[in-house]
């Protein structure tokens, strides 16, 4: 595993410079309809993503695009409510911009949440899955092009993007709260169309437990910078062909609305344990 690079503070956008005075421990990117945790931030300072020069504009309902900086369960946090996706026409590198900002601010770990279709037959809509690993099936990388040496190496290791200690801390906390937390592999497809039933059968053979259109660019960019990732999927629907129902973004948002509050409480409650469980080698 590569050592954390020392990233020049001048890479922090002007609009977020104040956060350098008391740097956040964690940076979080919240998926479709999963923005609840941002409301739990104490003394929040909100910075619209549009205040950051060249920041990619979001075009999707449920993805507001605002950074919230403050304290969560006693720990300094920066939370991005509303991510951008490559299917909106942005490059993978643009999609991962928030992680580069988090890295420049000095976060010790990153939390990525998403809404995903459930492939594993044990999963039900509303369930949560801690990500153990991912399949990047977009055929693109956020690291294409000149290597940003200040963040990490040309050929970064990805053998442990999601360290087990982080997800175990979350699972332990979930168990105490009586919340079921599956584990599994997340497959990222480019979208924006949902998958066909044949594609879902293929993904199951490939070892995927859940499928979505996000998270992987950010996770890869965090891994490049040596930053541990906790990834959590909220299963918003059974993947195509598993349930007879047609898939819709409205259904995804409705499910996220319900399960998002639980996920927000879990992440806030687990934060002290997560901070303690960070891999020692970093």
Binding site for ligand HPA (CB under 6 A): 115-117, 194-195, 211-213, 236-237, 239, 247, 252
The nearer residue to ligand HPA, 120 or 237, going by C-beta atoms, is 237
The CB-nearest residue to ligand HPA is 117
**How far is Cα 195 from Cα 192, in angstroms, rounded to an integer?**
9
Supply 85's token pair. Answer: 């996706």
CA-wise closest residue to 62 among 95, 89, 31:
31
- Distance (Å, rounded) from C-alpha 236 to C-alpha 199? 18
Six-digit token pair at 125? Answer: 């809509």
Minimal distance, residue 216 CB to ligand HPA, in Å: 12
Whether 251 is catalytic = no
CB of 186 to ligand HPA, least distance (A): 10
- Strands 66-72, 26-30: parallel, antiparallel or unpaired by DSSP? unpaired
| 281 catalytically annotated | no
Q: Toward ligand HPA, which CB reaches closer, 86 or 236?
A: 236
Is 87 in the active site?
A: yes
Q: Is 75 a catalytic residue?
A: no
Q: Spot the catalytic one: 208, 213, 268, 270.
A: 213
Residues 206, 212, 217: CA angle, nearest 5 degrees: 95
Both tokens of 230, joined, read 């906790």
Catalytic residue among 114, 120, 236, 237: 237
Confirm whether 175 is a catalytic residue.
no
Distance of CA 231 to CAs 15, 39, 163, 211, 216, Å?
Answer: 27, 20, 10, 13, 10
Q: Pick the closer one to ligand HPA by CB: 77 or 239.
A: 239
Min CB(201)–ligand HPA separation in Å: 14
- Considering only CA atoms, which of 32, 5, 9, 52 is closest in space to residue 259? 32
Write down the catalytic residue from 49, 103, 115, 268: 115
Query: Can 63 be counted among the known catalytic residues?
Result: yes
What CA dihedral angle connects 270, 267, 140 and 58, to 10 degrees? -150
Active site residue 243: no
Least separation in angstroms between CB 116 and ligand HPA: 5
Residues designated as active site: 32, 63, 85, 87-88, 115, 213-214, 237, 249
């Amino acid at each position: 595993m590569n050592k954390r690079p020392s990233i020049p503070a001048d890479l922090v956008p002007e609009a977020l410079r104040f956060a350098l005075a008391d740097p956040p421990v964690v940076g979080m990117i919240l998926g479709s309809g999963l923005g609840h945790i941002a409301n739990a931030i104490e003394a929040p300072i909100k910075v619209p993503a549009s205040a950051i020069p060249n920041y990619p504009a979001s075009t999707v309902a449920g993805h507001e695009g605002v950074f919230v900086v403050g304290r969560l369960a006693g720990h300094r946090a920066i939370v991005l409510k509303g991510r951008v996706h490559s299917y909106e026409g942005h490059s993978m590198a643009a999609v991962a911009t928030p992680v580069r900002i988090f890295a420049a601010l000095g976060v010790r770990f990153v939390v990525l949440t998403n809404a995903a279709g459930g492939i594993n037959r044990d999963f039900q809509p509303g369930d949560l899955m801690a990500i153990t690993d991912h399949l990047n099936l977009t055929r693109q990388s956020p690291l294409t092009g000149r290597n940003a040496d200040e963040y990490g190496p040309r050929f970064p290791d990805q053998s442990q993007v999601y360290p087990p200690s982080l997800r175990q801390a979350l699972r332990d906390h979930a168990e105490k709260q009586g919340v079921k937390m599956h584990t599994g592999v997340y497959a990222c497809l480019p979208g924006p169309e949902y998958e066909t039933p044949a594609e879902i059968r293929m993904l199951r053979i490939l070892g995927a437990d859940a499928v979505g259109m996000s998270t992987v660019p950010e996770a890869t960019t965090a891994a490049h910078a040596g930053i541990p990732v906790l990834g959590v999927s909220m299963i918003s629907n059974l993947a195509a062909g598993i349930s007879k129902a047609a898939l819709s973004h409205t259904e995804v948002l409705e499910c996220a609305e319900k399960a998002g509050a639980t996920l927000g409480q879990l992440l806030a409650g687990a934060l002290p344990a997560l901070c303690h469980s960070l891999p020692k080698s970093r």
